[in-house]
Amino acid sequence: MGTRFFNRENIESNGTSPSRYDIDSEIGSGEYATYTVHIPVTPDNQPSPMAIQLERRASQRVEKQYTTNSIFTGGHNCVTRAHVMDKVIGTDSSHPQMAGAKGSVCAIQGCDAKIMSDERGEDLLPCECDFKICRDCHYDAVRTGDGICPGCKEPYKGEFDLAGVGDGRVLTLSSPVGVSKAGEFDQNGWLFETKGTYGYGNAIWPKEGAGGDGGNDNVGESSQLLSKQWRPLTRKLSIKAAILSPYRLLVLVRMVVLGLFLTWRIRNPNEDAMWLWGMSVVCEVWFAFSWVLDQLPKLCPINRYADLNVLKEKFETPNPRNPSGKSDLPGLDMFVSTADPEKEPPLVTANTILSILAADYPVEKLSCYVSDDGGALLTFEAMAEAASFANLWVPFCRKHDIEPRNPESYFNLKRDPYKNKVRPDFVKDRRRVKREYDEYKVRINGLPDSIRRRSDAYNAREEMKALKLQRQNKNEDEPLENVKVPKATWMADGTHWPGTWVVSGPEHSRGDHAGIIQVMLKPPSDEPLNGTSIDAIPIDLTEVDIRLPLLVYVSREKRLGYDHNKKAGAMNALVRASAIMSNGPFILNLDCDHYIYNSQALREGMCFMMDRGGDRLCYVQFPQRFEGIDPSDRYANHNTVFFDVNMRALDGIQGPMYVGTGCLFRRTALYGFDPPRSKEHHGCCSSSSCCFGERKKKPASVAHASEEEDSSSSQGLRETDDDLSLALLPKSFGNSSFLIDSIPVAEFQGRPLADHPSVKNGRQPGALTMAREPLDAVTVAEAISVISCWYEDKTEWGRRVGWIYGSVTEDVVTGYRMHNRGWRSVYCVTKRDAFRGTAPINLTDRLHQVLRWATGSVEIFFSRNNALLGSHRMKLLQKIAYLNVGIYPFTSIFLIVYCFLPALSLFSGEFIVQSLNVAFLTYLLGITITLCLLAVLEIKWSGIELEEWWRNEQFWLIGGTSAHLAAVLQGLLKVIAGIEISFTLTSKSAGDDLDDEFADLYLIRWTSLMIPPITIMITNLIGVAVGVTRTIYSEIPQWSRLLGGVFFSFWVLVHLYPFAKGLMGRRGRTPTIVFVWSGLIAITISLLWVAINPPSGSSEIGGSFQFP
């Protein structure tokens, strides 16, 4: 066990690329590091070629093992350390990629280093006598011992080669180019038009004249590729004209009817109740405006289709550029975010990671990063357990084509698991894996107790040591003092956990701890690695690739006094760390409770990115699908109207919004760059093809003035700048040269194939088939520096680069910024759901979720991200869609007033119109019929159910009268007075039925958000009772006014029915006395009202009956 210290310096060495760290081995705090003293090269000490080659290969192997077996920590004003861990968890894993020091110990006396091992983790023994020797001792035996084996004293036979290491050849990253003669730097030229040899990873630029605009090299090969019939990766499927044309016509008809109705309402006031008429007209005008904002972006819905066979043919089939048929797909970095293991169960997060590791994507191109924003050891060890279980689960999924690849979901499927399984050993394998999974669940669920018991034991030992030391140092006359030892949290190897302790301490609390990076699974080898019969796993994997993707645990540094920007800050830390460690040109982020349900979803998303014109796509958004929702979907948790109607319609304009999870990003779009050929593309109102007419183009200075997104005008990359100095890049991205150098690499690797003359800004086939550079300690140490709390200071991170700060709904703002720069997005609806997650089914939790969304929308409306300030690069209908996002919470003000109008009408005996004449009823009927017809057509082209549409309408009123109103009040107070109000739970009750899957649905958790809907229901119920009583006992009954008021009260109560049902708790558990007392109270209040305010001309109720 040892600790390696990294001191930040700029050191240059001949023949190697610049390194930003000086790596020294030191001794500190009782921990010793193994080191070797090398004699400098002199004329008398010249290494042999064999020794040089062996040194290079062995160094790479040992460095990879050292990186994987170390946990890296560091941060602001502290040294970056790499602590070698003997083990990560209590159980051992046999997989060679698993973190934790494994293997036998060197047999040389006095040496306790681990011996060399191959890709499978098996011992490498250079001599036939099987003498165990480590890399350094073997190096000394070859160079200084004349090649004599220390065990049998015989010379080593032949040249010993480390299996699987390869020749160590890697690609170097050239310095960024594109600097003009005047010394200025062109952003687009630097990012999209440079040529050179690139890699961290596997990108190679084509040689001059190869497959491009000219030259004689590879002419035959390029012509052969171009002459082959070109097939697109995706297709756009238009909605049938028989459905879409009537739909658009009905929208126009309803707009006309609404206009005529509002005109009639304004010209025919109710002279008897002007206050009632005025409020109703204002509300109706706003509702019409809100409906137009919501309806216009739905005019161009489309469907899309991705062809996975074409993707395989283009990227994974042998061709002249790729004779071996190795995968030419770009790298993909998967992000999983979690913050609190108490609220987000570690088992759920671990199973999400397993579904990612088992995804159907080239193993060497896939990386998984887990952001633990709470810095909890529980999450860390749950990840390690998941990595250990992946040794069995991932090969099992590959062998038998398991779907879904989340073990919890798979083993809980309510269908025949043996259907369509042809391998004879499937039943046996499934039974054994199920048994292993049950044990794995027991281990993860037992981690809290295990960590607590371990920490208590180590803390007791430390207290005993401190007490013993105090007794040794004290004088006989001095009394013993109470020993105070920090209640630390201890890792499995007996060292302090550098993150958050269970009992918070200085620099070990949730908001104050060091940055942590642990490579749980090191990068896999470039070639497939099949299992063997001697592998310590219970199923036969001799024909299955057992490699696992790169898996990294990341917990960014947190310090007191810094604003860490919640989830957006954590995602930006992952963007920077992944850029240095794997630099996948594409990023897909998932919440910890969303797992991959369709293992080929990643390939379907990549079809859009790699297709012609895909270089202008900033992200591919997948719909969110949920599990564990009650069958009736009482509170519209599935949200199908939004995901299957609104988002599908936006796909026909400029693209769907980013909704926080299940989104495949282009890395360079997250970096804040404009899309390629941005000057050739404009918004729909800047071209002659716009259906709304041509708009005069503004001068560049004026057009870009609306795009200014920063308070500072003198620093950072700007959308308005065409020529940028290279010196400004650190001001935008930070001072990490590793990060800046990775940007053009990621851009090139993300380009589509140049396999067609119309493909612009493409790359040659076979450019991404080379092995990537090994992951070393210097790289991980650099990643530690970019996740420190100070790294974003005086940079554009969170303002223009990465996820955008300043809003609760950072996802919508981030997507808006990309669309505002001219990028497009795509909505990918797969035949089998791509991802599935969980959603709150309890009424209170659902209201608080909607409150958070609505609060973010209000913040967007009062910020620079308001769509009214959008640039000319965004299409008009896209602007309207984003404008509706910021405006919809304000509808709650008018909605809550309108919900009280029926009761006020019944109380006062008046109505919003003078009388229910033919004109009013005709308009009302026309509006209702057109609304129903539009709903039917939306159901037709979107594929949703009528019940789902109705549930959405109901919850629109429930949320509008509760959470949306609270969000508006909260936003106004924050903007005007700077006061922040948080609506939290005030009391909770627990479910008493553990056997019911939907027990949480019936929990009654009181919150202040319930007050407005309850008031509306009670007021309307009393109003109906009062109106009926008044009309019955009136000398001249006004039945038309009664019917109008009762009809609209019924409309309100029907929409609030799910809310009322939620207040009743469990079905069948509401006492009968509740209904009895409710009826008695309503009747009593009605009679009191009539007694206090009797009908005009009569002081009696029911003739001779006198009220007592």
Nearest partner of 808 among 983, 594, 624, judged by Cα: 983
Q: Round to whole Å and give the CA distance between 982 and 287.
A: 28
CA 645/CA 655 separation, integer angstroms: 13
Residues forming a β-bridge with 558: 513
Q: How many CA within 13 A on the CB side of residue 105?
A: 8
- For 575, counting Cβ atoms within 10 Å of its Cβ (0-12 exposed, 13-18 middle, 19+ buried), the class is buried
Q: How many alpha carbons fall within 13 Å on the CB side of residue 507? A: 12
Give the pair of three-digit tokens for residue 964: 């949306």
Question: Which residues are known catalytic residues?
Answer: 373, 811
Listing DSSP states for 740-772 in one string gives HHHHHHHHHHTSPB--STT--S-B-TTTT-SPP
Beta bridge partners of 306: 234
Distance of CA 800 to the CA centre of its chain: 19
What whole-number distance in Å separates Cα of residue 188 and Cα of residue 205?
Answer: 17
How many Cα atoms are found within 13 Å in the side-chain-facing hemisphere of 656? 31
DSSP label of 869: G
Residue 319 to residue 313: CA distance in whole angstroms? 9
Phi/psi region, residue 766 (left: phi>0; alpha: psi -120 to 50; beta: rest), is: left
Counting other chains too, the contacts that 990-995 makes at CB distance below 8 Å and 24 or more residues apart are 993/1066
Task: Output the CA–CA distances (angstroms, integers) from residue 946 to 241, 641, 937, 1059, in the order listed.
Answer: 21, 10, 11, 20
CA distance 594 to 663: 12
DSSP H or E run through 441: helix 426-445
Two tokens, residue 16? 């190697």
Going by the DSSP 8-state scheme, the letter that residue 28 receives in this structure is B
Inter-CA distances, 258 with 297, 648, 974, Å: 18, 26, 35
Other Cβ atoms within 10 Å of 259 Cβ, number: 11
Tokens, residue 846: 């659902």
Q: Where are the beta strands (DSSP E) in 341-477?
A: 366-372
Alpha-carbon gap, residue 417 to 878, rounded angstroms: 45
Q: Of 747, 743, 745, 736, whose CA–CA distance to 770 is shortest?
A: 745
